[in-house]
Structure 1
């Protein structure tokens, strides 16, 4: 496993010397190396990435409280179609480091900027689910067209996840999310169950194993990252970001999403220039598994545009 600090891989010196002197090592293409790596985004804070395949890069940002392993079935499809799929675990989640602070969309976007610079990514498509979709949107607004040729928002909890006097579209009030925060501080499994009940349609045909798999993906999240990131999800307002998006944007959203209202997708579609909205009718918040084939097909269609 490589460890990138300021873009330079650090490994044991003796091992690194023999690898560098090997003709076989020197002749191997980059895509066969660094499948799993850590990239330092600030002193003593490293993000874990997975890097699979070759071709145009597609950067995948997970939703709360998962790591990028949630994209297992999406990555299969992307690599098979000739794309380079890069999953990035948000700080505090997945296998990334878990500092005490730094859990807001500005920091998340800056972390992602360091990852993209370190990997030298250009012409990338950035895709994010739920909260990951929200800060992917913020990244695209904050950094314009740098590194990106497209943006894909999957069930994104954006531009604002809680209601306001001038914004009735979200499903939740700030008080609702505050009650989740209080529950999280005393009974994390209960919150996981509460959110899990809303994640997929009650009529879905997923096997019990899928739910166990999904539940396992959130176990590695740090408790304070969960609290602080959920606070950001409650309070962040990205409405002014919509007009700043300069790249073609794909919005994949289910009509019956019980976590991020479909009305939010309509607001993003109306506010982002050159956006395409694709509606899902047989899933909830988990379009990437509930309607996996359609999800992958629509994403690949967007990539090939």
Structure 2
């Protein structure tokens, strides 16, 4: 079932709540430039194992409201906090993919892991999406700037090119079209603004503040968030476990959905 949660006086976040009576709750935070539908292959299976699966659309994406501002990691983490408080979630597992993983890490640090008993990071864009003087593993800043420029110039073309980088395995034309449409559901300005946050923000000091068991799932062929990011997260987050996915790129939630679902179910217990 779907509904809206007000996170600011004029901003509502769309929530998809699958199996609300499930015994254990998982809150999913999607990556750029998609929405909660990214987790279709988790929502297909995990509810049958007794899990309540909640997917949110970040502001500016999917069915959520699309304000012109508010796309920093802090504000996006505050949106999650508002959803958690409104739904009165407790003892839940927070799952974040790509920039959703970065936002989940900021949530854990800023809101002291409020309500979260376990954290799972899927191809997370952390601790830094871009290269820095002390971190040579991310993407060149110039490459992100080009994505921003292309977003404003020809967003459909940009999304099509990004989809080509996303998956390691071959995807059918219909699947590629489906993925492309997810990106089109966002506003162009929010698509660009989150790219700006990915470019400018970092989470090095946030990692050590995570005090719950953490599962890191990361495709070894990831061209969007290179695998060394997973190694850095594993080193920086206490009580974390890294599971490399040897047949996945950035789209591990689909490319190895059976393994991802199995790892999540076993991790949550």
TM-score after normalising by structure 2: 0.97
1:91 matched to 2:59? The reply is yes
- The yes-or-no answer on 1:52 pairing with 2:22 is no
Matched, 1:127 2:118: no
- Cα distance per residue 1:122-180 (max 9 Å; x no partner): 0010001101111011101111231100111000011100001111111x111111111
1:128 is paired with a residue whose SS is strand
Could you give the per-residue CA deviations for residues 206-228 of structure 1, whole angstroms, max 9, x where no partner exists? 33222111111111100110111
2:141 aligned partner: 174
| Residue deviations 1:247-287 (CA, integer Å, cap 9, x gap) | 11010001110000100000000000000100011110000
Provide the C-alpha distance between the structure 2 equivalents of 1:100 and 1:198, rounded to a whole number of angstroms: 28
Across the aligned residues of Structure 1 and Structure 2, the Cα RMSD in angstroms comes to 0.9
CA offset at residue 232 of structure 1? 0.4
Unpaired runs of 5+ residues, structure 2, are none
| Contact 1:206–1:290 (CA under 8 A) maintained in structure 2 | no
Report the CA distance between 1:70 and its aligned residue. 1.0
Q: Which residue of 1 aligns with 2:105?
A: 137
Q: How far did residue 194 of structure 1 move?
A: 2.1
Structure number with higher relative contact order (C-alpha < 8 Å, ≥ 6 residues apart): 2
Q: 1:187 aligns with which of 151, 154, 170?
A: 154
Tell me the SS of whatever aligns to 1:198: helix
After the TM superposition, which residues 55-66 of structure 1 pair with which residues of structure 2 at under 5 Å, given as runs?
55-66=23-34
Match of 2:122 in 1: 154
Aligned with residue 115 of structure 1, among 76, 83, 91 = 83
Paired residue for 1:230? 195
| Displaced runs of 4 or more, over 6 A | none
User: How far apart are 1:205 and its partner, in Å?
Assistant: 4.0
What is the number of residues matched between the two proteins? 267
Whether 2:245 is the aligned partner of 1:280: answer yes
Bigger radius of gyration, 1 or 2?
1
Q: TM-score, normalised by structure 1?
A: 0.86
Q: Which residue of 2 aligns with 1:40?
A: 6
Please name the residue that 1:200 is paired with: 167
CA distance in 2, matches of 1:216, 1:195: 13
Which runs of no fewer than 5 residues in structure 1 stay unpaired? 1-34
